[in-house]
Chains A and B, each alone.
Chain A
Amino acid sequence: MLVLSRKVNEVILINNNIEVRINRIEGDTVKIGIQAPKQVSIIRKEIALDIAEINAASVLTTKFQNQ
């Protein structure tokens, strides 16, 4: 994993078309602004984890293993 240090208002450029800006730092919260082409999906990771969890909880039966 690449780890970079950035100050407020400094920007990281990804793939020449995605900008990640550190907008503000308040205590343990960092406000991040992301500018990306509209076809790029950006979500909070916990949303994907919530869906994985609800998928697992929604399985009707325990998994049937192939013989």
Chain B
Amino acid sequence: MNSFTHSDIASMQPLGSSVLHFPEGIIGYADVRDAEVKVLEQKKPFSIMKLEDPTGFMNLLVIEPRDFHLNYEPVFFENDLISLGITDKADVALLNVISTEANSADEISVNLIGPFLINRKLKIGKQVVIQNYANYSVKHHIPKAASETKAS
């Protein structure tokens, strides 16, 4: 249940645009509790995640791993699944944060170690550290061919 294979990831239903709650905040931003994900129709497969805390908001570029065509097989800690009330793989949606390289707009990378784990039914989520983090990077380069459009 806590190990996701490549085919589990590939067969996930898209999360799409949604409003999410992060009861525990996100890593490095403990006060962020609410997020709004908006699919960028012009820049698919990327979405903007607007993160809100009591003082304001900021935006991250995110992608669902079903769309980045990497061999990504995350294993989650059981307590993360339990705390989000996830009892079935079908409940799960994932979002990974994209970074654009400062020196080149063509180069993008994705954080594979700290995805947002989301209970798509309850619309609650948590930024987690995957159990098999040693196999992945917080800054995994994505070849341009892997995504349909580049981030800008």
Contact = CB atoms under 8 A, between A and B. Distances in A.
Contacts of A17: none
Nearest to B51: A59
B28 A56 contact: yes
Chain B, interface size: which category? Answer: 20 to 34
Nearest to A52: B28
Contact of B58 (A47, A51, A64): A64
B27 interface: yes
Interface string B49-65: 00000111111110000
A50 B138 contact: yes
Contacts of A53: 28
A20 B133 CA distance: 21
Nearest to A56: B28
B27 A41 contact: no
A59 B152 CA distance: 13
A48 B27 contact: yes
A53 B45 CA distance: 24
A41 B77 contact: yes
Interface residues of A, number: 24
Contact of A63 (B57, B111, B127, B133): B57
B131 interface: yes
Contact of A41 (B54, B60, B111, B129): B129
B57 A51 contact: no
B145 to A, nearest CB: 22
Contact of B129 (A39, A47, A56): A47
Interface string B64-84: 000000000000011110100
Contact of A39 (B60, B77, B97, B99): B77
Interface of B: 26-29, 48, 54-61, 77-80, 82, 97-99, 111, 113-114, 127, 129, 131, 133, 138-139
